[in-house]
């Protein structure tokens, strides 16, 4: 599964952060999942429960908290702001490609106002760590 | 806010012995051709080899290798398909033959994503094909994969040599390892250039016909010269 690599990266990032912050025990790792990449929440939680065991002890009982973030695009040509719903519907193959590599949105979609491909993914691209909570 | 992907690059590349980034500050001088032939030659020599096309907007390796039919498998990330014995990864798998218009920041994001999810596993060599010049993708490789050794391609032209000199100077100043320099499309008199001239690759009028067919490529004049170069590289003759 492709999510494996992303969740593994999250666990490693949390492990490093815990070391830097001198946390003895990490309670929660709060991640933001961008709508565009469409990572399966249940799968991410399951994978994290497995992968935390492969990291340092501080992480072994950590919980993965997931926050969703809607995708927001901003056209660099005309300034229009739009979301995933405003885009022409992607085929299964196309949304799979965007799932693997969110920048492929530039390949399969365009600004609904002016048809430019030169837009910015302002929010909701992929996965990032917002917060790590734990005890020193 | 932490980008978790940067924490995984070291892990994903931990079993890769050597990383060679094929660069050159002029367009169309044969970087992709040499990168593909080099990967193919190393694989043929029995070395576990991977090839990453890091030129997202101008991807070419899939055309040179005829990789149109393969696709990565989802195993703990993405497992690059074997193309002519080489583990191959490219954004062309995802762009479905369409134009890929990306700006710098988007190129950085794409590169990070690909490094995070690609499972190269154990490799003797990872060859990276870079876009021309010293910009987004090249600077990112230097930043994210500092042990990547530059293989600098040039051609017998004053213009190419001038940029070559500048590039070598910058690499030295930034302490970036340089594997060597290659003169492509060299004629018989083409001089060796740079402080670590590896070899010359002749102009091969038959090369165009081999595009898309790795077997034909392996029988070409271009390939023979690159295979010699691969042997020298692997013998560590030019290792820093
Ligand atoms: N040794 C050679 N003999 C004959 N033709 C060659 C040789 N090397 C490259 N070519 C041809 O030159 C052209 C450019 O090659 P290639 O795409 O490999 O260059 P590049 O440096 O990767 O280009 P770019 O800067 O766009 O990435 C192609 O048409 C290729 O077939
Ligand atoms: Mg090229
Ligand atoms: Zn627009």
Summarised one tens digit per residue, pLDDT across range B143-167 is: 999 999 999 999 988 888 889 999 9
**Using H for helix, E for strand and C for coil, what is the string for chain B?**
CECCCHHHHHHHCCCEEEEEEEECCCCCCCHHHHHHHHHHHHHHCCCCEEEEECCCCCCCHHHHHCCCCCCCEECCCEECCEECCEEEEECHHHHCCCCCCCCHHHHHHHHHHHHHHECCCCEEEEEEECCCCCCHHHHHHHHHCCCCEEEEEECCCHHHHHHHHHHHHHHHHCCCCEEEEEEEEECCCCCCCCCCEEEEEECCCCHHHHCCCHHHHCCCHHHHHHHHHHHHHHCCCCCC
Do B95 and A100 make contact, defined as CB atoms within 8 angstroms?
no
Tell me what ipTM this predicted complex has: 0.94
Fold of A2-69+124-135: hypothetical protein PF0899 fold (3.30.2320)
pLDDT of residue A87: 75
For the entire predicted model, the pTM comes to 0.95
Per-residue pLDDT tens digits for B7-35: 999 999 999 999 999 999 999 999 999 99
* Nearest atom, ligand 1, residue B130 CA: 27
DSSP conformation class of A49: H
CA–CA distance, B230 with A21 (Å, rounded to integer): 46
Dist CA A9 CA A2 (whole Å): 12
Mean pLDDT of chain A: 93
Specify the higher pLDDT residue, B69 or A107: A107
Q: Which tokens sit at B132?
A: 């021309």
Nearest to B217 by CA among B229, B233, B206, B201: B206
In a domain, B51, yes or no: yes
Q: How would residue B222 be classed by pLDDT, with cut points 50, 70 and 90?
A: very high
Residue B125 forms part of a structural domain:
yes
Closest ligand to C-alpha of residue B30 is 1
* DSSP-assigned beta bridge partners for residue A26: A134
pLDDT score, position A2: 85
What does the pLDDT read at residue B196? 62
* Residue B192 pLDDT grade (very low, low, confident, very high; cuts 50, 70, 90): low
Confirm whether B239 is domain-assigned.
no
Contact A97 B103 (CB under 8 A): no
d(CA B153, CA B85): 24
How many secondary structure helices (H) and strands (E) does chain A include?
Answer: 4, 6
Please list the ranges in chain A whose pLDDT falls under 70.
none
Domain contains B149: yes
The residue among A32, A107, A110 with the most chain B CBs within 10 A of its CB, best to mutate, is A107
Contact A130 B1 (CB under 8 A): yes
- The answer to whether residue B76 sits within a structural domain is yes
Number of domains observed in the structure of chain B: 1
Question: How many Å apart are CA A13 and CA A62, to the nearest integer?
Answer: 13
Separation of alpha carbons B18 and B39, rounded Å: 12
On whether residue B240 sits in a domain, the answer given is: no
| Ligand 1 centroid distance, CA of B117 (Å) | 29
Nearest to A34 by CA among A80, A90, A103, A109: A103
pLDDT tens for each residue of B198-208: 678 999 999 99
- Within 8 A by CB and 6+ apart from A91, the residues are none
Question: Residue B239 pLDDT more than 60?
Answer: no
Query: CATH number of the domain that B117 lies in?
Result: 3.40.50.300
Percent of chain B with pLDDT over 70: 94
The sign of the torsion formed by the CA atoms of B83, B86, B91, B92 equals: negative
Percent of chain B residues topping a pLDDT of 90:
85
Q: How far is B57 from chain A (nearest CA, A)?
A: 10
The phi and psi torsions of A92 (rounded to 5 degrees) equal -60, -45
The answer to whether residue B164 sits within a structural domain is: yes
What range does the domain containing B109 cover? 4-234
Question: Do the Cβ atoms of A72 and A122 come closer than 8 Å?
Answer: yes
Which pLDDT does position B240 carry in this prediction?
A: 39
- How far does Cα B205 stand from its chain's mean position? 22
Q: Please report, for chain A, the start and end positions of each structural domain, with discontinuous segments joined by +.
A: 2-69+124-135, 72-122
Show residues of chain B in contact with A126, CB under 8 Å. Answer: 109, 113
Instruction: Please identify which residue in the block is written with the tokens 């988007």.
Output: B106
- Tallying the residues shown for chain A, one arrives at 136
Residue written as tokens 């970036």?
A: B176
Find out whether B185 and B203 touch, Cβ atoms under 8 Å.
yes
Edge to edge, the sheet with strand A81-83 lists A81-83, A72-75, A119-123
Q: Which of A12, A69, A103, A116 to mutate to test the interface with B (most CBs of B within 10 A)?
A: A103
Asked whether the beta carbons of residue A104 and residue B91 sit closer than 8 angstroms, the reply is yes
Strand partners, B12: none
Say which ligand is closest to the CA of B208. 1
Question: How far apart are the CA of B96 and the nearest CA of chain A, in angstroms?
Answer: 8
Mutate to test the pocket of ligand 1, among B21, B26, B28, B137 (most ligand atoms within 8 A of CB): B28
A16 CB within 8 Å of a chain B CB: yes
Contact at CB, A2 and B78, closer than 8 angstroms = yes
Give the closest ligand to the alpha carbon of residue B186: 1
What is chain B's mean pLDDT, rounded? 92
Q: Provide the pLDDT for residue B195.
A: 61
Residue B205 is assigned to a structural domain of this protein? yes
Q: How far apart are CA B229 and CA B126, in angstroms?
A: 16
- Looking at the predicted structure, is the pLDDT value of residue B179 above 50? yes
């Amino acid at each position: 599964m492709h999510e494996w690599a992303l969740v593994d990266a999250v666990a490693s990032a949390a492990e490093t952060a815990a070391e830097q912050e001198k946390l003895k025990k990490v309670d929660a790792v709060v991640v933001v999942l961008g709508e565009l990449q469409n990572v399966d929440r249940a799968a991410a939680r399951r994978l994290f429960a497995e992968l935390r065991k492969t990291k340092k002890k501080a992480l072994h009982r950590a919980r993965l908290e997931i926050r969703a973030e809607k995708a927001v695009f901003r056209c660099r040509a005309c300034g229009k702001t739009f979301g995933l719903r405003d885009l022409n519907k992607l085929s299964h193959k196309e949304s799979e490609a965007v799932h693997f590599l969110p920048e492929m949105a530039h390949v399969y979609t365009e600004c609904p106002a002016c048809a430019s491909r030169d837009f910015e993914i302002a929010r909701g691209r992929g996965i990032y760590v917002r917060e790590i909570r734990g005890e020193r | 806010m932490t980008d978790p992907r940067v924490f995984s690059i070291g892990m994903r590349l931990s079993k890769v012995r050597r990383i060679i980034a094929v660069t050159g500050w002029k367009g169309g001088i044969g970087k992709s051709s040499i990168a593909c032939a080099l990967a193919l030659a190393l694989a043929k020599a029995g070395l576990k080899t991977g090839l990453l096309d890091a030129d997202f907007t101008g991807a070419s390796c899939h055309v040179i290798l005829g990789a149109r039919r393969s696709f990565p498998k989802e195993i703990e990330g993405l497992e690059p398909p074997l193309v002519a014995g080489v583990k191959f990864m490219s954004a062309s798998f995802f762009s479905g033959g369409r134009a890929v218009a990306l700006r710098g920041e988007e190129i950085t994001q794409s590169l990070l994503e690909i490094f995070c999810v690609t499972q190269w596993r154990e490799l003797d060599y990872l060859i990276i094909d870079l876009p021309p010049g010293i910009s987004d993708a090249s600077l990112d490789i230097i930043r994210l994969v500092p042990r990547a050794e530059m293989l600098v391609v040039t051609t017998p032209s004053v213009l190419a040599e001038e940029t070559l000199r500048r590039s070598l100077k910058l690499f030295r100043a930034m302490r970036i390892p340089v594997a060597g320099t290659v003169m492509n499309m060299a004629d018989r008199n083409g001089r060796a250039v740079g402080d670590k001239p590896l070899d010359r690759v002749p102009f091969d009028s038959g090369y165009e016909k081999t595009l898309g067919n790795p077997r034909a490529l392996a029988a070409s004049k271009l390939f023979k010269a690159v295979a010699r170069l691969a042997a020298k590289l692997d013998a560590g003759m030019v290792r820093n």
